[in-house]
Chain A
């Protein structure tokens, strides 16, 4: 289990948990990043900027911080396709 922003661009993962500021965490879930969802880190802005995350439902620009902690489990590309 790891923080989503530590994954390199192009990695697929499964959302394990979303914590932090309750309003923000809820908003992230409303946008479709609910635990158990498959998603992919599409790209990362340089200098520790925001990351782009794609799910089947949304494409989001996110800057994780203390107020938004997204834990994920990295999955192999083949598993993601199968899922």
Chain B
């Protein structure tokens, strides 16, 4: 059924627009899929009985003249100039009662478009709690549109607003100021209106006090480090039990398949190609979700803007800005949510440079590979009597990865994304308690989004990889034990042919055909290296009755082991990351470039390490 009307939800950043959108539409949301749009706006539905209104959540703006891609979208849609998104029938403007001046300046500009409008005012409760007052009736007379006070985080007033959206009287706003008015004149007008309708309460002493601590050169830095430590710790410790559960679920599904499908080739396809391939990515869902919850909470409560302020100077050394640290930090868990969170960087050049650096941050898929290889080739001795050699190598791999990523960003900012220094500019929102419901809804939507990617692009790649490793079927494996049969299969597959053919390329790095095969199979997902090594060395493991680590210890000289590690520090071996990069940048050009840069670095680093040790 066709909606009664489409309403654009518009507001300045930090007014609580997303929270209100989530409260209004709940789970009735989808990512708008418009051709040629990299910033995908959310579409939600509000219905009362059989009447339905469609809401489109447009990126926050301060005015109709855009400075970023996101803002351009909002401005184009509102003006009816967008190529694929139809002009909305009306506008729901969100205004913050604690900070209304900028919202009214935006109102004065949107009013000129002539679209019918409703004004939702958030945080009226907070103004009243501070002893102030807000006169919505006078504001209604001054602006000519209906005003609805709401408390987004508590859901108060949301019901009335829903009724208004679906059944209410929509009014075109009054022409409040001359079209040619300057920003200065608009602010003067805004101040005069605010003076008549808002009585400010007491100053927000809580925010002032918190800032005195959280932005303090010493205490602020200490807090920042503690928050980041907590951030990391929780991503890894909370996610682990969930990841184990998903892993176990995938295993159960696979054994169910193995018991019920008799055709070996079909069984292998379903077990490894479908369930195994997609499963190895879905395992990271808990980390992705926890990371997203934490970033959203930090953002909603107002800390993120402060953190960006604190690290801006350090990021500036690498040509980046304060906001870049969020995507980079997230990428230590997984580059996928990291790249998605790069949307918070308004400058195109800074965003691109940041995205290109994310794959170098040591993601959790590298961790099992590092653990296996370090355990195999680095002696379990100590330096200076107390620092574990293995831990030191592990830590240095993290540092080398991060530094290299930042240097790549710096290099790109000096070349491809060259341009004047984009001045850092961020607004500090007042501290507030985040709405848990809104955070929850965001999570559900992120999950759907991620599963959709896993179900499409990643599925295609994992089927491709299955064809390489499982075809053609090895002959004469019926009498063999399962382990031998799997080994025979992998040795006779296209991938093994590929491994042997490509091996000369990797020979200068010290890789034999087996390591080459392991490295190639990692291109589906890095942790595949371990299962591939497990299959390739399966006979050695069963004959010697030693764990894979010890078998590798005997098979790999230290320089080869370090050479493989160096390769994993740099190489972009993750099709999912590349798929997300493509989606966020709108072109395969960028993932291809990232792949090329990291491959050259990986090859170079491995070569040097192999020769050096």
Q: Mark A residues whose CB is within 8 Å of B.
A: 20-21, 23-24, 26-32, 34-37, 42-43, 45-50, 52, 56-68
CB distance from A51 to the nearest CB of B (A): 9
Q: Report whether B215 and A31 are in contact in the complex, using a CB–CB cutoff of 8 Å.
A: no
Q: Report whether A26 and B67 are in contact in the complex, using a CB–CB cutoff of 8 Å.
A: yes
Q: Which residues of B contact A65 (CB under 8 A)?
A: 421, 423
User: Is residue B313 within 8 Å, beta carbon to beta carbon, of the partner chain?
Assistant: yes
Q: List B residues 420-454 near A (Cβ within 8 Å).
A: 420-428
The listed residue (B63, B308, B427) touching A59 by CB distance below 8 A is B427
Q: How far, in whole Å, are A56 and B203 apart by their CA atoms in the complex? A: 11
Q: How far, in whole Å, are A46 and B425 apart by their CA atoms in the complex? A: 17
CB distance from A58 to the nearest CB of B (A): 6
Q: Which residues of B contact A28 (CB under 8 A)?
A: 425
User: Could you write out 20 A-B pairs with CB less than 8 Å apart?
Assistant: A21-B422, A24-B422, A24-B423, A30-B102, A32-B102, A35-B184, A37-B187, A45-B312, A47-B313, A52-B215, A57-B187, A58-B102, A59-B427, A61-B305, A61-B427, A62-B424, A63-B312, A63-B425, A64-B423, A67-B423
Q: Which residues of A contact B308 (CB under 8 A)?
A: 61
A34 with B187: in contact, given A62-B424, A66-B421 (CB under 8 Å)?
yes
Q: Report whether A61 and B420 are in contact in the complex, using a CB–CB cutoff of 8 Å.
A: no
Q: How far, in whole Å, are A30 and B427 apart by their CA atoms in the complex? A: 11
Q: Report whether B422 and A58 are in contact in the complex, using a CB–CB cutoff of 8 Å.
A: no
Q: How far, in whole Å, are A11 and B480 apart by their CA atoms in the complex? A: 82
Q: Report whether A26 and B65 are in contact in the complex, using a CB–CB cutoff of 8 Å.
A: yes
Interface of A is mostly: loop
Q: How far, in whole Å, are A24 and B346 apart by their CA atoms in the complex? A: 11
Q: Report whether B63 and A30 are in contact in the complex, using a CB–CB cutoff of 8 Å.
A: yes
Q: Which residues of B contact A68 (CB under 8 A)?
A: 423, 425
User: Is residue B183 within 8 Å, beta carbon to beta carbon, of the partner chain?
Assistant: yes
CB distance from B430 to the nearest CB of A (A): 8
Q: How far, in whole Å, are A62 and B309 apart by their CA atoms in the complex? A: 8
Q: Report whether A61 and B312 are in contact in the complex, using a CB–CB cutoff of 8 Å.
A: yes
Q: Which residues of B contact A37 (CB under 8 A)?
A: 187
The listed residue (A35, A42, A50) touching B312 by CB distance below 8 A is A50
Q: How far, in whole Å, are A50 and B421 apart by their CA atoms in the complex? A: 13
The listed residue (A21, A46, A57) touching B420 by CB distance below 8 A is A21
Q: Which residues of A contact B423 (CB under 8 A)?
A: 20-21, 24, 62-65, 67-68
Residue of A nearest to B430 (CB): A59
Q: List B residues 397-439 near A (Cβ within 8 Å).
A: 420-428
Q: Which residues of B contact A59 (CB under 8 A)?
A: 427-428
**B183, B421, B424: residue with the most chain A Cβ atoms closer than 10 Å:** B424
CB distance from A23 to the nearest CB of B (A): 4
Q: How far, in whole Å, are A42 and B67 apart by their CA atoms in the complex? A: 27
Q: How far, in whole Å, are A47 and B423 apart by their CA atoms in the complex? A: 16
The listed residue (B102, B309, B313, B321) touching A48 by CB distance below 8 A is B313
CB distance from B565 to the nearest CB of A (A): 34
Q: How far, in whole Å, are A37 and B191 apart by their CA atoms in the complex? A: 12
Q: Which residues of A contact B187 (CB under 8 A)?
A: 32, 34, 37, 57
Q: Report whether A24 and B67 are in contact in the complex, using a CB–CB cutoff of 8 Å.
A: yes
Residue of B nearest to A27 (CB): B67
